[in-house]
Amino acid sequence: MTRNPIVFLLAQRLSLGLLLLLAASALIFMGTEILPGDVAQSILGQSATPQALANLRNELGLNEPALARYFDWLGGILRGDLGTALTNGQDIWTAMSGRLANTLFLASCAAIIAVPLAIILGVIAVRYRGQWPDKLISGITLTSVSIPEFMLGYIAMFVLTVQFRIFPSVSTIYDSMSLGEKLHAVAIPVLVLVLVVLGHMMRMTRAAILNVMQSAYIETAELKGLRPITVIARHAFPNAIAPVVNVVMLNMAYLIVGVVVVEVVFVFPGMGQYLVDHVTKRDVPVVQACGLVFAAVYIGLNMVADIVSILSNPRLRHPK
């Protein structure tokens, strides 16, 4: 029986993604194990007696071997149980789900603006490559990429909040808020995230299209008298979609996983802020759960990018 190459490659990518997630869970668990300090001491405080500390360690299972605790934690995850927070006794998934929804909302708003804008700017840069529009776009996007997120955040906050008083400095959102109120509240962090990822996506789009522009069929299209923008949009860009999708997915992963700094700067109630709050409290189960969710999102989006690249490859779609 002939093996379908697309099905084989898709199964290979899915298997690799699951193995990477398993490896990430082990690294996350080991990373939290080597953190300095004592969880029981952090919960009970410095005035706790040795007997109280010993009782709490026994109750939390901290006296068990690390390997046994890892497999117990992994088994709970496979059952859909992320555990219970040590500091307040809340179910982690229940407390995290609302925060995750807020982070996805913030990342989606940034992606809706950044992705089409990066592609349009990339096409314009190719159309006028070497001319002033190309140099202007490249210069602005490189500058935005070079500035750290927290500095971009403070600059945007100073200009749009202190000087012009257009948007609030604290981006707190609630379930009872309307969509317009939420968009107004997250306007500055969305702007910062767009500036952070725009340059990378634009430059990769530009590079991918320029690489395709060297092909013989592009020269044929130009010799037919087609307008340069038509050649780029109809002939070059569709054939450059695979690397563009890869870089878009990588930046989408960053928008979800790498928003910790932006959320802390603007006190946004998302996953990043939730993680930082519990790192300071040394709430290990919450830190482990947040790390695993971030790893799953990052690996999942990279798998999507790989699958799109496979499906967009004509040699795989139409094997000889």
Residue 314 has a pLDDT of 64
More confident residue, 72 or 2: 72
Residue 277 has a pLDDT of 87
Rounded to whole angstroms, how far apart are CA atoms 273 and 52?
31
C-alpha distances in angstroms, 131 versus 138, 143, 214? 11, 18, 19
pLDDT digits (tens, 9 = 90+) for 125-182: 999 998 999 999 999 988 988 888 989 999 999 999 999 889 998 898 988 899 999 9
Tell me the sheet residues that pair with 116.
none
Residue 52 has a pLDDT of 81
C-alpha distances in angstroms, 62 versus 10, 30, 38, 40, 144? 40, 14, 10, 9, 46
pLDDT digits (tens, 9 = 90+) for 224-273: 888 888 888 888 888 888 788 888 888 888 888 878 889 999 999 999 88
Break the chain into its structural domains and give their ranges: 93-282
Vertex 171: Cα angle to 160 and 110 (nearest 5): 80
User: Tokens 């999507």 belong to which residue?
Assistant: 304
Question: What DSSP state is assigned to residue 313?
Answer: -
* Phi and psi, residue 176, nearest 5°: -80, -10
Instruction: Answer for the pair 165, 188: CB distance below 8 angstroms, yes or no.
Output: no
Q: Class assignment of domain 93-282?
A: mainly alpha
Indicate the residue type of 253: A
